[in-house]
Structure 1
Amino acid sequence: MRLSRPSDHHPRFGGLGSRKAHVLRTVMIAAPANLAVELLLWPFFGASFSAGALGWGAASGVASAAAFALLYRTLAIGPMHVLSPVTAVVSAALPVGVGLLQGEHLGAAGLVGLSLALVAVVLVSAGHGAGSARPSRTALLLALGAGAAIAVQLIFLNQAPSDSGVAPLIVGRAVSSAVTLAVAGLMYRKLGSERPAYAMSAAAGGLDSVANLLFLLAARSGDLTVVAVITALYPAGTVLLARSVLAECIHRGQLVGLGTAAVAVSLLALT
């Protein structure tokens, strides 16, 4: 089974964009940009708008709107190197549970890889000690909510018909854009005058489109249990970017986690 891994960069850009303005202003740019990219993908991957594609796509869109807002707000509060992996743990656990309940089975290499992947996520999320920045209770709750929303989005996308092409992605993003614009309209007076980083916000939306496409293709050719865990390893990239862009320190345990993640991905790719 060949697995594709979604992009690591879109949460980073979205988090940075949300530091400059209200999170909804960032999502108002990211979500339509996401939809535009998915429409461009339509001629290459096709789209069949069956009832199943419409239903599951719309459901994933509602979850996606919540995931966008919660994740970008979480990363805007920070610290990114702790909160991003917390989100990933939750986003991996729920799809794994659903996959196992649906009867998915893994071989010996897959079981070892799955275990190592979960350990890697925990190691990457390890704290730095007494002197390091600690997330607030609000930030942790937002991270848990973001992880749950991402998980639900992935589960719904996985339920869409395998022959529907990118239809579930297009429908989902259209719905999430509509939801975001509606909420923004209702909260217009509370959004403030600060404008988001337009380029970063649009880049976040575009990269999220690629991430969702890769997830959909991987899930259609493999097990949700494996693909969800591979997807949840994105904090490895986020941690490295936090070090290079924001000069956040990387704990020795996180370095071990990055190496463990590489081994886990190799084993899971063999299943």
Structure 2
Amino acid sequence: MMIAAPASLAIELLLWPVFGASFSTAALGWGAAAGVASAAAFALLYRTLAIGPMSVLSPVTALVSAVLPVGVGLVQGERLSAAGLVGLPLALVAVVLVSAGHRARSVRPSRTALLLTFGAGAAIALQLICLHQAPSDSGLAPLIIGRAVSSVVTLTAAGLLHRRLGPERPAFALSAAAGVLDSLANLCFLLAARSGDLAVVAVITALYPAGTVLLARGVLAERIHRGQLVGLGTAAVAVSFLALT
């Protein structure tokens, strides 16, 4: 996290001339709130990954991160078409099917793991909601401010906890690459949310485990079990319906 957050900030600063940035009061406020939520989301998510089992916790995280923005979008007056009313629940089902591993039924997470999972999902949802609330004409300002805040929070926490970090050196290249990809993902979400409904965009974003499953199959030669195959198919159908909204 110490490496990924500054790497993300560097990418957003490089993209500033391309997309522009308007640092209004609203952009600063919502961007800062998104940054705090982002730092909390990463810390809670990585802690959840360490505790496991992710075969159970991953779909819970994804569901929470999708359901909260859907609720906010509907409260703010977003209305779904008939296709959206079909695609939205299908997408939520797909999130669970794709995320769940083949051992999901045989293991039970601890109470601490479940609390961290809900916290991670809520923090991710808050980050998405804050980015969506930022003015649509603010360009990359919410992302730049948010990443600067999350970098400060992360580095401050690391300074306070430096004695607990251990002597092992982090994987600098992989950590930086993760930060770059996270920055591009947030940019794609911001552009999508500005041109579409938060309820739809957030649910499609929560389908990210599908990409993880496919990459694990292609890169790590992991097996995709039957439930995940059904989930991938359901995801394709759901996205097709949501694209019609």
The answer to whether the superposition gives a TM-score over 0.5 is: yes
The answer to whether the 8 Å contact 1:35/1:173 transfers is yes
- What aligned pairs does 1:161-176 form with structure 2 within 5 A after superposition? 161-176=135-150
Q: SS state of the match for residue 169, structure 2?
A: coil
Q: Quick check: 1:255 aligned with 2:229? A: yes
The answer to whether the 8 Å contact 1:54/1:167 transfers is yes
- What aligned pairs does 1:172-251 form with structure 2 within 5 A after superposition? 172-245=146-219, 248-251=222-225
Deviation at 1:86, TM superposition (A): 2.1
Letter of the 1:236 partner, please give it: A
Identity of aligned residues (%): 84
Deviation at 1:139, TM superposition (A): 3.3
Specify the alignment match of 1:56 in structure 2. 30
Letter of the 1:57 partner, please give it: G
Specify the alignment match of 1:43 in structure 2. 17
Within the candidate set 68, 72, 77, 2:46 is matched to 72
Q: SS state of the match for residue 3, structure 2?
A: helix
How many angstroms apart in 2 are the aligned matches of 1:125 and 1:212?
A: 21
The answer to whether the 8 Å contact 1:81/1:238 transfers is no
Distance 1:225 1:105, change over 3 A: same
Q: Quick check: 1:111 aligned with 2:85? A: yes
Q: Quick check: 1:155 aligned with 2:129? A: yes
Distance 1:145 1:74, change over 3 A: same
Per-residue CA shift, 1:81-110, capped at 9, x if unaligned? Answer: 543332111100100000011110011111
Specify the alignment match of 2:114 in structure 1. 140
How many angstroms apart in 1 are the aligned matches of 2:55 and 2:210?
A: 9
Distance 1:81 1:129, change over 3 A: closer
Specify the alignment match of 1:265 in structure 2. 239
Specify the alignment match of 2:3 in structure 1. 29
**TM-score normalised by structure 2 residue count:** 0.93
Any unmatched runs of 5+ in structure 2? Answer: none
Letter of the 2:122 partner, please give it: A
Paired residue total: 245
Per-residue CA shift, 1:48-86, capped at 9, x if unaligned? Answer: 000000000001000000111122232344444543332
CA root-mean-square deviation:
1.9
Distance 1:119 1:187, change over 3 A: same
How many angstroms apart in 1 are the aligned matches of 2:56 and 2:134?
A: 32
How many angstroms apart in 2 are the aligned matches of 1:189 and 1:91?
A: 32
Per-residue CA shift, 1:111-158, capped at 9, x if unaligned? Answer: 111111011112223352588666554433322211110000000111
Letter of the 2:121 partner, please give it: G
The answer to whether the 8 Å contact 1:124/1:258 transfers is yes
**TM-score normalised by structure 1 residue count:** 0.84
Letter of the 2:137 partner, please give it: D
Distance 1:267 1:51, change over 3 A: same
The answer to whether the 8 Å contact 2:7/2:176 transfers is yes
Per-residue CA shift, 1:196-229, capped at 9, x if unaligned? Answer: 2111111111001011001000000010000000
The answer to whether the 8 Å contact 1:126/1:251 transfers is no
Within the candidate set 65, 68, 72, 1:91 is matched to 65
How many angstroms apart in 1 are the aligned matches of 2:188 and 2:147?
A: 15
Q: Quick check: 1:100 aligned with 2:77? A: no
Distance 1:55 1:131, change over 3 A: closer
